Structure 1
């Protein structure tokens, strides 16, 4: 069998191993600089999100996942409690590396997070993203997320359009 044609071993697991959280920060910094030219401000934002998770995580209400292909980290996502709204969770730091795209990793990561959110008793899940992340947006839409806010945003060295998406877990598809 040709090397490129061999079946890859895919795994989505909890982000509970040494290096997982650091990898999330590094992978975001590198990938978004390569793909979009985003500066270190983005990596700093991801570092704050990951550090807050590591310092304050409630295992009953928050979790993070790593996707692996052939034993190598290739994706991640977090689900954390909303800042000021009980019953509302936030989907954070979804990423799939370039060489793992097309394997369904993004969908599997979001699915794990939403299953966890439902089990933890959240009523809804929100997320913030930018409009140029079309692949992620398609995943969110597939799960029933609705665009609830959109406004111009200057960040990461670029003029962007920030978007807030929301999924009502009581009414949204359970996919």
Structure 2
């Protein structure tokens, strides 16, 4: 917990009733308002959240909620990847009412610290090029773009991007 601009900010685990439902709703509403993405995106987020809620291993996977003055305004999840040494950063969001407080940075920081503690060697993520604020956060932490591909999803023409962070390299870089 910390104070910023006369606001009480808390980043906590996503483990309270209503947290998972809020994540789905907030994504659906925010991406519709900001990018005119259709309900297909909300379905994707619901699938990610449902998989997490029913199958996650709490020693290797976690979700976080950012609150400002007791209201949920952000989230991020870390889930196991396709290989044991790889994790995936998923569904980072800071709702409009939480922006400007560096919550995205704090959420990703929590996520990556957990990934290191859980023994992951790499963290990957998939995003779209229109999400410029998120991309700046990922780049700040050392994620590198591995590939991108045009696609039509959520009612829009988009460019999907895969990003990777090698935690072994970034840990070494941070030690120097």
Pick the TM interval, shorter chain. Answer: over 0.9
Which residue number in structure 2 is paired with residue 78 of structure 1?
77
| Alignment of 1:69 onto 2:71 | no
Give 1:7-46 correspondences, 5 Å limit: 7-46=6-45
Distance in 1 between residues matched to 2:165 and 2:120, nearest whole Å:
11
1:134 to 132, 136, 141: 132
Distance in 1 between residues matched to 2:119 and 2:100, nearest whole Å:
31
Which residue number in structure 2 is paired with residue 162 of structure 1?
160
Give deviations 1:118-140, integer Å, cap 9, x for gaps: 00000000000000000000000
- Structure 2 residues not aligned, in runs of 5+: none
| Alignment of 1:147 onto 2:145 | yes
Q: Tell me if structure 2 keeps the 8 A contact 1:143–1:174.
A: no
Change (3 A) 1:141 1:119: same
| Alignment of 1:89 onto 2:83 | no
TM-score by length of 2: 0.94
Aligned-residue CA RMSD (Å): 1.3
Equivalent residues, number:
170
Instruction: Say which SS state the counterpart of residue 145 (structure 2) adopts.
Output: strand
User: How much does 1:100 deviate?
Assistant: 1.1
Give 1:86-125 correspondences, 5 Å limit: 86-125=84-123
User: How much does 1:174 deviate?
Assistant: 5.0
Distance in 2 between residues matched to 1:119 and 1:132, nearest whole Å:
31
TM-score by length of 1: 0.95
